[in-house]
Structure 1
């Protein structure tokens, strides 16, 4: 597959410090890059436009206000699927917690037949070396809870580094996603599993950002756990039917 049939989607909000270096690292692979900026007050959107003006592989999608990660990705997916400009669509954070050198492995997994390839911290070879024990405990516990409640086999459904086959993504109800934060990732992995899509997990090392401010907060975690609980309870009849059938 030609590299320019791969588009890496990066939502941004106050990521000016990281953006130029990240854009260079992504486009050096020959991949296209779609930056989705939520009207960042630090000028990230203006810098994104400058980068797009000097690099034909970069496109910018401006949104009027910060409306959450899920809606940013949904807007990007609509843009890419309508234009039929990508065969593989990658989700990636802007803060270098997702190593750009792992991009070819995610892309290769899709080329090898996966519908969804997740950069996983919780399969052999994956890790979170910068995290304190309590953060590791909460993240692993949250993923285990999601796996039990939703009945899928994904070990790292909260991971935000992932690649979709465009045709598979077009069959998922991403516009109807309930979660606005990182619960969106759980929801999409769950819906992909329900649809019978082939999901693979690729080990990655997740690093903490060194520049800028984290957007992760307690309300985002609470939203994800609440929605997983609701989805799990509503999904009990369907799971019982599958067991009984």
Structure 2
């Protein structure tokens, strides 16, 4: 994945030369995925840091991780929900690049190189899409496709973007943009779920990447069928949650991100492109 020798890549308008290229951390939320992990873990790049975030699995998920990827960093999420799992994983990751990867086998780990390539060619955030040329889905239903289309159109209208796929969680980004996303902390909160702890996290991340002015590039990806076990996705209820998230984030867009210290520092350190929008690679 990273290759050998000195690798040149673009970051914030500059050309960077490093041995082997940027380091990569792959964050994998896990809850009772032992049968799927047997197929997913062997496909992960050997030189990547793998961060497995366990949500209290009652099966042998962690045993599979110990056998197939003994070098993995294993953390327990502090609350519940996919958003909290990702926040815990992001906090534990040490790579230059963070990749979000589901454990159910629906996302192909062999596409990680394409996401990293989008970032090293100048993007801050690489957003997977099933609906750009080169992408596709073997899993999406007609109802989910229509719902995703409507939510994507609404997102583009509200945030001035050009996304082709909103509800897809296969993404990658530079670790140093995390402060700009202002995600919920990962500290225990008496077991109570916070905004962004649940399924809405992917929409929250997309909206905040847009309002922070990150350079976003879409990466064509092919979604596969979940390998084993029932999906936790509920088209109507989750779609309603995404819609609510869009409206909440739209109302919050006036928080003047230009005045946020983390965003000001990021803008001053390298002259990033502040024009919202996605550009396919």
2-side partners of 1:5 and 1:180: how far apart?
27
Q: 2:128 matched to which residue of 1?
A: 119
1:52: how far off? 4.1
1-side partners of 2:161 and 2:25: how far apart?
27
Q: 1:209 matched to which residue of 2?
A: 226
Q: How does 1:63-102 map to 2 (within 5 A)?
A: 63=77, 67-80=80-93, 85-102=94-111
Q: 1:194 matched to which residue of 2?
A: 211
Q: Which runs of 5+ in 2 are unaligned?
A: 3-19, 186-193, 257-281
**Are residues 4 and 215 of structure 1, via their aligned partners in 2, closer, same or farther at CA, if it must alter by over 3 Å?**
farther
Match of 2:56 among 39, 48, 61: 39
Aligned positions, number: 229
RMSD: 2.4
| TM-score for both structures, normalised by structure 1 | 0.83
1-side partners of 2:210 and 2:181: how far apart?
10
Q: 2:15 matched to which residue of 1?
A: none
2-side partners of 1:106 and 1:46: how far apart?
29
2-side partners of 1:47 and 1:19: how far apart?
7
2-side partners of 1:96 and 1:90: how far apart?
15
Tell me the secondary structure at the aligned position of residue 180 of structure 2: coil
1-side partners of 2:91 and 2:84: how far apart?
10
Verify the 8 A CA contact 2:123 2:216 in the aligned structure 1. yes
1-side partners of 2:100 and 2:216: how far apart?
15
> 4+ runs of 1 displaced by more than 6 Å?
none
Please say if 1:62 is aligned against 2:57.
no
Tell me the secondary structure at the aligned position of residue 27 of structure 1: coil
**Greater per-residue helix proportion:** 1
1:235: how far off? 4.2
| TM-score for both structures, normalised by structure 2 | 0.74
Q: 1:20 matched to which residue of 2?
A: 38
2-side partners of 1:167 and 1:236: how far apart?
23
2-side partners of 1:62 and 1:46: how far apart?
14
**Are residues 236 and 151 of structure 1, via their aligned partners in 2, closer, same or farther at CA, if it must alter by over 3 Å?**
farther
Q: 2:141 matched to which residue of 1?
A: 132
1:21: how far off? 2.0
1:6: how far off? 0.5
**Are residues 59 and 4 of structure 1, via their aligned partners in 2, closer, same or farther at CA, if it must alter by over 3 Å?**
farther
